[in-house]
A and B are shown apart, each in its own frame.
Chain A
Amino acid sequence: MENSEAGNGATRDDLIQRIALMEAMIAEGRRSTARCGWYFILWGVVNLTGIGWQLSRPHFGWVWPICLAAGNVLTLAGYLLQRRSAPAKCQSIQYRGVGAVWGMMGIAMTLYVGTALFEHFTWQLSYLAALLMIVGLAHAISAMILRWRVQGAVAALWWIGGVAIFFCRTATPMLVIMLIEMCLGMVAFGAYAMMLERRDSLGPAGTHAG
């Protein structure tokens, strides 16, 4: 076809413009997949608070039940606030998939940690290793869905921590591993995700197709 008329009287340039428009809009839809970085920051802070509190009061058995309950309440409150305050949105298929992964991981984790706390299993190596592996698994699935290499690296960090825990002979290296995971795998990753969300929201909205 030359640059003459094609179907519907459209020229080749016109058709190429349509393709460019489709590509831009499909990319725009993909970019709108929320990453919800604040959840990671919140849970990083909750866990760091719990670790710090436990170190200062090692025999106080309510540290983790209080911290985890507070974390769940804040997560729910934040989710409801976010839902109410978001004026314009879309729900992408990817977002739904990632939401399902983390939602189910949250339920599994609550059951697992709750039972372990109740039965005082929380300082066993296998308990901590499984905890790190479960979080790493959720990160890995999210990374696959979103095709996001940074999150893939975070998943690897959690899994490396899960493996390394088995080689710890004292409490100090275990604590170091947990602190690294919380600071890098939760807080720093959450801050990075929030930075990307902010950049995307300030991005070139409106391709003026109208």
Chain B
Amino acid sequence: MPDDRDGLPELDPVIHGKLRLAVLSLLIGVQEADFVWLREKTGSTDGNLGAQMLKLEEAGYVAMVKRFAGRKPQTLYRMTPAGRKALAKYVAALKRLLGGAL
């Protein structure tokens, strides 16, 4: 975890975005989740969520699989081990920033 000039830990900018953080927090407790389910739970729009999911995918924090449920196409996301590690680091950084109040 890189520290800034004041000795405080830097927060991972990919995770720090509100919607991306919400998605990762949802995915940490589930094996996999549908795009529609993530959209409903986060209250976001298709376009916004799609863009944020792409960023998380590019960072290697989530993996996407497209498949069919009956005749309906389904986009499923799951958190990668790198994503879990990054979220754990993010939480540790938050703890340090808040003076271990967590």
- Give A residues with C-beta under 8 Å from B: 1, 6-8, 10, 12, 15-16, 18-19, 21-22, 24-26, 28-30, 32, 83-84, 87-93, 95-96, 205-210
Contacts and interface: CB of A to CB of B under 8 A. Distances in A.
A91 B30 contact: yes
Interface residues of B, number: 45
Decide if the interface of chain A is mainly helix, strand, loop or mixed. helix
B42 A207 contact: yes
Contacts of B30: 29, 32, 90-93
Given A21-B22, A93-B29, A7 B43 contact: no
A10 B16 contact: yes
A24 to B, nearest CB: 8
Contacts, number: 133
A7 B52 CA distance: 21
Interface in B1-37: 4, 8-11, 13, 16, 18-19, 21-23, 25-34, 36-37
Contact of A6 (B8, B29, B33): B8
A84 B70 contact: yes
B44 A210 contact: yes
A90 B39 CA distance: 12
B59 interface: no
Contacts of A22: 21-22, 25, 91
Nearest to B4: A7
Given A8-B11, A21-B22, A30-B29, A90 B34 contact: yes
B93 interface: yes
Contacts of B34: 88-90
Given A21-B22, A29-B25, A93-B30, A210 B45 contact: yes
Contact of A87 (B11, B19, B36, B41): B36
B25 A93 contact: no
B49 A210 contact: yes
B98 A25 contact: no
B98 A15 contact: yes
Contacts of A28: 26, 41
Contact of A206 (B9, B18, B40): B40
Nearest to A30: B29
Contacts of A15: 94, 97-98
